[in-house]
Amino acid sequence: MTTKSVALLDYGSGNLHSAERALVRAGARVEVTADPQIALAADGLVVPGVGAFAACMAGLREVRGERIIGQRLAGGRPVLGICVGMQILFERGVEFGVETDGCAEWPGVVERLSAPVLPHMGWNTVSAPSDSVLFKGMDAETRFYFVHSYAAQTWDLPPSEHFASPKLTWAEHGVPFLAAVENGALSATQFHPEKSGDAGAHLLRNWIDSL
């Protein structure tokens, strides 16, 4: 069986070393890169992200990462966003009153969670659909590691008779928010699978196996 190749997009924002180790542990051949040709040719592309939405978008645009993501998706080539790498897939983010345009692969806005304690830091369960690919083989009590104060809290993409309905996974911290989305070739998690131990490794293996 051929080892799947995964490009880990290096745009100056992201926990690249731990993400690389986790993907290798999950069975992928990984290259950390900002080279568009390598990123487009790989079986899968992972877009990490930590910190502020605006800073991540600025870094992404410097390496034309939004074009790489768009080109891959136009060809049905898998992309996985992690943490802020999930958030920037939405139309826009609002932090400290500043609105920043995202990649607009999905409609909607990423906003501050309304919760008594922020950031949402630590382990939490999620509510995944029964037909999820990412969460296949995991039970409802499986916990994943989160560290964030912002998230998409609604799903604004209208249903289409031409495309399969996205698989939405929710979690709660003060309010419900999207913990993961599986939408055709584009998947994303708000939590950090690379920091989520065996559960995160299982999820990454599921994604790699689907490539």
Catalytic residue from among 120, 148, 173, 192: 192
Using one digit for the tens of pLDDT, what is the confidence trace for 68-82? Answer: 999 999 999 999 999
pLDDT confidence of 83, banded at 50, 70, 90? very high
119, 147 Cβ separation under 8 angstroms: yes
- Predicted confidence at residue 157, as pLDDT, reads 87
pLDDT at 1 over 80: no
Distance CA 150, CA 98 (A): 13
Per-residue pLDDT at 142: 98
Catalytic residue among 83, 111, 173, 182: 83
Arithmetic mean of pLDDT, 31-47: 98
Q: Which domains does the chain have, with CATH numbers?
A: 5-210 (3.40.50.880)
Per residue in 49-63, pLDDT tens?
999 999 999 999 999
pLDDT digits (tens, 9 = 90+) for 156-188: 988 888 788 899 999 999 999 999 999 999 999
Q: Please compute the mean of the pLDDT values over residues 36-48 and round it to a whole number.
A: 98
Does 20 qualify as catalytic in the annotation? no
Instruction: Say whether 103 is catalytic.
Output: no
Question: Structure tokens of 188?
Answer: 């994303």
Question: Looking at residue 15, what is its pLDDT?
Answer: 75
pLDDT score for 163: 80
Q: What is the pLDDT of residue 159?
A: 85
pLDDT at residue 67 in the model: 97
pTM for the whole thing? 0.97
Given the residues 111, 148, 194, 202, select the one marked as catalytic.
Answer: 194
